[in-house]
Amino acid sequence: MGRGHVGPEQGLGSRRMASTRRTMSTDPSTHRAILELGGPVPQEVCVASPIVLNVKLSCPCGCGLDSGQVRLVSGDMNIATCEANRISFAAPAQLGAFTWVVVSPPQEISGVPHGEVSLPISFATSPVGTSVAVWDVPSPVIIGARCAVRVGAKSAADCVLEGATIEIVDEAGTVVGSGRLGGTPWEGTCALYWTEVEVSAPAREGIASWRARFPATDIRLPHTEAEARFSIAAVRPPECRLTMTFVDRETEEPIESAHIRLGPFRAVTDASGRAELSIPAGPYEVKVWHHAYETPSTTVEVNGDLALQLHGVSIPEEDPNARWMM
């Protein structure tokens, strides 16, 4: 069964036209009713989603049957009653294939008896879609160190996901951390339920591609599984302190709010143009970005504590779109 979700108002499923059933009474005084649906029957709908069927009950003899009874039934159970030529109901809350019947029972309308007429409808239900978000990933982190990642899941139907399990999976497919979604959606969202999951950083230096996975368990309505990939950078323990000062090449004035990057390490200069990083020894390419200055990248070998001065060249106002290429 497909898992796509299309609203019932759009006419789900195949394009088969609405069919008609008529009574075949042998009593010449009983009129034959005609039961029609105003559009294609949904073939697949999301569990518990609303469905609307447009229904028309008529008589070839011209009897007005707008007041006639029409119901949607499943076996002996009444599902919904037609009102204003519409049957509104909710799909079942469980997955499966269903065949229900739209029926107009034998009834006398305006003094004229009309025979029973019925029309079966068939459809299947699919799970509610979900999505996963990951944010506030610490990077870099020291190899094997404990850290926390914020993860969340959202139901396409805005269902409450409180208490549902969410997992962090590494590149080998091993679950390295899990948690249960909290009861309050993330601020500014209507239904992004979230939690913090604590994990151990990768055991090897480098950038690892991990996944946040929502298994879609512990939920009242069936939902699809979902996942989101994210990267986490693991580094060796710091050995050296790097002090950087960023100044205007012409005036030697310090430059504040300059973003400095050395591989996975990042820093921002303060009002004195200074920024510090604790990093492992090794070669690094130093990149600097500031909206008003250009600075060519440079390579530095860090073998111990080091002070580094970086110079920026003011960008002319006629070149406001200069950007830092990562």
DSSP labels for 254-303?
B--S-EEEETTEEEE--TTSEEEEEE-SEEEEEEEEBTTEE---EEEEES
Tokens of 71: 């119901």
pLDDT tens track, the chain, 326 positions = 333 333 333 333 333 334 444 444 455 678 988 999 998 888 999 999 999 999 999 998 888 888 889 999 999 999 999 998 999 999 999 999 999 999 999 999 888 999 999 999 999 999 999 999 999 999 899 999 999 999 999 999 999 999 999 999 999 999 999 999 999 999 999 999 999 999 999 999 999 999 999 999 989 999 999 999 999 999 999 999 999 999 999 999 999 999 999 999 999 999 999 999 999 999 999 999 999 999 999 999 999 999 999 999 998 866 555 554 44
pLDDT of residue 82: 93
Polymer length of the chain: 326
Tokens of 188: 């500014």
- pTM assigned to the model: 0.77
pLDDT of residue 142: 96
User: What is the distance between the alpha carbons of residues 107 and 103, in angstroms, rounded to a whole number?
Assistant: 12
CA end-to-end distance (rounded Å), the chain: 44
User: What is the distance between the alpha carbons of residues 260 and 52, in angstroms, rounded to a whole number?
Assistant: 58
Do residues 215 and 165 lie in contact, with contact meaning Cβ atoms separated by under 8 Å?
Answer: yes
DSSP labels for 226-244?
EEEEEEEEEEPPP-EEEEE
Cα dihedral 281, 285, 289, 295, rounded to 10, equals 120
- CA-wise closest residue to 58 among 67, 50, 49: 67
For the chain, domains (ranges, CATH) are 8-126 (2.60.40.10), 130-235 (2.60.40.150), 240-314 (2.60.40.1120)
